Structure 1
Amino acid sequence: MTPWPYSFWIAHRGAGKLAPENTLAAFRVGASHGYRAFECDVKLSADGVPFLLHDATLERTTTAQGVAGERSWAELSALDAGSWHSPAFRGEPIPTLADIAKYCLHNGFALNIEIKPTPGTEEETGRVVAGEAARLWAGEAVKPLLSSFQPQALEAAKAAEESVPRALLIDSLWPGWLDCANALRCAAVVAHHSLLSTQVIASIHGAEMLALAYTVNDPATAQRLMEYGIDGVITDAVDRLSPSALVCG
Structure 2
Amino acid sequence: MTHPWFTAGPTPRVLAHRGLVPADSEGIAENTTAAFAAAHAAGAIYVESDCHLTADGEVVLFHDEDLSRVAGDPRAVAAVTFRELERVMGTRGGLLSLPQALDAFPTLRFNLDVKVAAAAEPMGRAVARHAERVLLSSFDDDRRRVAMAAARAAGGEPAASAGTGTMVRVLAAAAAHSDRLVRRALAGIDALQIPERYGRLRVVTPRVIAAAHGAGVEVHVWTVNDPAEMERLLDMGVDGIVTDRADVALATVAGRA
Please indicate the TM-score interval, normalised by the length of the shorter structure: 0.7 to 0.9
The offset of 1:240, in angstroms, is: 2.3
* Alpha carbons of structure 1 residues 161 and 146: separation in structure 2 relative to 1, 3 Å: same
Structure-1 separation of matches of 2:110 and 2:185: 20
2:186 alignment partner, SS class: helix
Segments of structure 2 that go 5 or more residues without pairing to the other structure are 172-181, 198-202
Q: In structure 1, how many angstroms separate the alpha carbons of the residues matched to 2:136 and 2:166?
A: 19
Name the CA distance, whole Å, in 2 between partners of 1:94 and 1:158: 24
Amino acid paired to 2:7: P
> 2:126 aligned with 1:127, yes or no?
no
**Mapped contact 1:9–1:233 kept (Cα < 8 A):** yes
CA contact (8 A) 2:34 2:94 kept: no
Q: Name the structure with the higher helix share.
A: 2
Listed as ranges, the matches of 1:124-163 within 5 Å are 124-135=118-129, 137=130, 142-162=132-152, 163=157
In structure 1, the partner of 2:186 is 182
TM superposition shift of 1:241: 2.3
8 Å Cα contact 1:171/1:192 also seen in 2? no
Q: Which runs of 4+ in 1 moved over 6 A?
A: none
Report if the CA contact (8 A) 2:134-2:159 is conserved. Answer: yes
Displacement after TM superposition at 1:49 (Å): 0.8
State the match for 1:5 in structure 2.
7
Residue of structure 2 equivalent to 1:196: 204
Q: CA separation of 1:246/1:219 partners in 2, compared to 1, >3 Å: closer, same or farther?
A: farther
2:192 & 2:254 partners in 1: Cα distance?
23
Q: Distance in 2 between matches of 1:150 and 1:211?
A: 18
- The 1:172–1:226 alpha-carbon spacing in structure 2 relative to 1, beyond 3 Å, is same
Distance 1:74 1:233 in 2: 34
SS at match of 2:101: helix
Deviations 1:148-192, CA, capped at 9 Å, x for gaps: 101111110222224111102449953466678535x12111001
- Give, in angstroms, the shift of residue 208 of structure 1: 2.3
Give the match for residue 113 of structure 1. 112
| TM-aligned CA distance change 1:79 to 1:20, over 3 Å | same
State how far apart, in whole Å, the 1-side matches of 2:7 and 2:115 are: 23
Residue type of the alignment partner of 1:125? A
The answer on 1:212 being equivalent to 2:217 is: no
Specify the code of the residue in structure 1 equivalent to 2:124. Answer: A
Change in Cα spacing, 1:151 to 1:26, as seen in structure 2 (3 Å) is same
Aligned identity (percent) is 28
The answer to whether the aligner puts 1:60 opposite 2:69 as a matched pair is: yes
The size of the alignment, in residue pairs, is 229
Residue 212 of structure 1 and its aligned partner are, at CA, apart by: 0.9
Query: Contact 1:168/1:181 (CA < 8 Å) preserved in 2?
Result: no
Aligned letter for 1:43? H
C-alpha contact 1:54 1:116 (8 A) present in aligned 2:
yes
| Kept after mapping to 1: 8 A contact 2:31/2:62 | yes
In structure 1, C-alpha distance between the alignment counterparts of 2:44 and 2:252, rounded to whole Å: 9
1:73: Cα distance to partner? 1.6
Kept after mapping to 2: 8 A contact 1:9/1:243: no
Q: Distance in 1 between matches of 2:168 and 2:30?
A: 29
Structure 1: any 5+ residue segments left out of the alignment?
Answer: 82-89
Task: Tell me what 1:36 maps to.
Answer: 45
Matched AA of 2:121: R
CA distance change for structure 1 residues 245 and 174 in 2, over 3 Å: closer, same or farther? closer
2:200 is aligned to: none
**3-state SS in 1 of match to 2:248:** coil
**In structure 1, what is the Cα distance between the partners aligned to 2:18 and 2:69?**
15
Alignment match of 1:167 (pick from 148, 161, 164): 161
Letter in 2 for 1:5: T
Tell me which residue corresponds to 2:32: 23
